[in-house]
Structure 1
Amino acid sequence: MAETKKINPFLKQVLELGPPLAFFFIYLHLRDDMFTWGGTEYSGFIVATILFVPLMLAAMGVLWVLTGKLSRIQIFTAFMVVFFGGLTAWFNDESFFKMKTTLVYGFFAVMLGIGLLQGKSYLAYVLDEMLPMRHEGWMILTRRLCFGFAALAVANELVWRTLSTDLWVKIETFGFPLALMGFLMVQFNLLQGYMDDPDGN
């Protein structure tokens, strides 16, 4: 197994958050334009999606080279972006890329739910090394995050089906990630009593 190498935390954040931010700014620049390739017209959103896919893959490639490792979540998310980005370009239909967010959040909710039915926390399997916590705490966090991902999946469906593309792009880029981050921060604070003390005190 390849050894995981440490990199500058700021650089790691740039590589992880850079592609979504690049998509946001490319979309803002191209949203009012139409492009014709091979006799077919493509909107600025479609072109921004097409450009986003190689940008994200390049950033993940650099991250893999620098760290020697990619998480299962990163690999799954990359697959979903490539797959639905490809469908978006092939069918010239932006709804495929918008649905991707629903399916990603929905998949996470289903996987966590399956683990809960088995009395396990798949979340602990992924994050236990970074966040030492007792089994009871992991089960509580997994249960809450399962419902949280399900809520985000439903929210994405409501947003892209009822609101404008402009609003969806803004909520997708900033709203959902900030909501998830805030939710996790609150949960970690609430679950402090379940954290393992490395000193045994």
Structure 2
Amino acid sequence: MDIESNRKERTEMEEKISPLLKMALELGPLLVFFFANARGEWLGRHFPVLTEFGGPIFIATGLFMIATAIALSVSWLLTRRLPLMPLISGIVVLVFGALTLWLQNDTFIKMKPTIVNALFGTILLGGLFFGQSLLGYVFNSAFRLSEEGWRKLTLRWGIFFLFLAVLNEVVWRLFSTDAWVAFKVWGTMPITIAFTMAQMPLIMKHSLEPLAESKGKE
């Protein structure tokens, strides 16, 4: 099966998920994490079984792991496939979350964004070093770009992921746990959205098909 056939198949599968449901699957676990950390003591009083996890940050970690597993399962049931980036992120959440709960050390869950973003950034930039614009394999179901366009976009995203990794290290090491959780939910997402929107001129410049046509295929 060629790349174009794979692209069409992925597009058809992804159309089974409405934009609102897709957003809920992506942001839901993070919101659960934020709420559980903020209301951890309340949750512990009303649901004593959750205290088996430990304090608020550990309750939040346990529920974050459960919400992540549910989101991945729902995505699989609807499309029979798991996008690479959410899958890798989910695996790291489960592994580092388990270490956090087992050792009762929140350092592991705090390092999760660093590990994931550094991994993505290294993979993208490493691919460019070997002449491969790997971002094209992830997003070619959304739009088509020239080789130069994918190369530039891959470079920018690779650097951005490394920036997020460094930023996470700065925040969790210099600020409180509550501040880190709030930044993880309400800081990282706006920064990522702003960066994504800033790439639209590049995408439009190197697009191989009219923007309207691309949207019609989504």
TM-score > 0.5, shorter chain as reference: yes
TM-fit CA distance, 1:41: 8.3
Task: Determine the structure 1 residue equivalent to 2:13.
Answer: 4
Is structure 2 residue 39 aligned with structure 1 residue 29? Answer: yes
CA contact (8 A) 1:32 1:44 kept: no
Deviation per CA, 1:110-167: give whole Å up to 9, x if none: 0011111012111011111212111101111111111111111011001000101111
CA RMSD of aligned residues (A): 2.4
Counting helix residues as a fraction of each chain, which structure ranks higher? Answer: 2
CA contact (8 A) 1:34 1:41 kept: no
What CA distance in whole angstroms lies between the structure 2 residues aligned with 1:144 and 1:42? 40
Task: Determine the structure 2 residue equivalent to 1:192.
Answer: 204
CA contact (8 A) 1:84 1:97 kept: yes
What CA distance in whole angstroms lies between the structure 1 residues aligned with 2:191 and 2:83? 22
Task: Determine the structure 2 residue equivalent to 1:57.
Answer: 69
CA contact (8 A) 1:88 1:95 kept: yes
Task: Determine the structure 1 residue equivalent to 2:172.
Answer: 160
Task: Determine the structure 1 residue equivalent to 2:86.
Answer: 74
Aligned mate of 1:13, from 15, 23, 28: 23
Q: For 1:112, give the aligned amino acid.
A: L
TM-score in terms of structure 1 length = 0.90
Q: 1:34 to 1:18 in 2, by over 3 A?
A: closer
Q: For 1:42, give the aligned amino acid.
A: G
CA contact (8 A) 2:53 2:62 kept: no
CA contact (8 A) 1:33 1:43 kept: no
Q: How many residues are treated as equivalent by the alignment?
A: 198
Structure 1, gaps ≥5 residues long: none
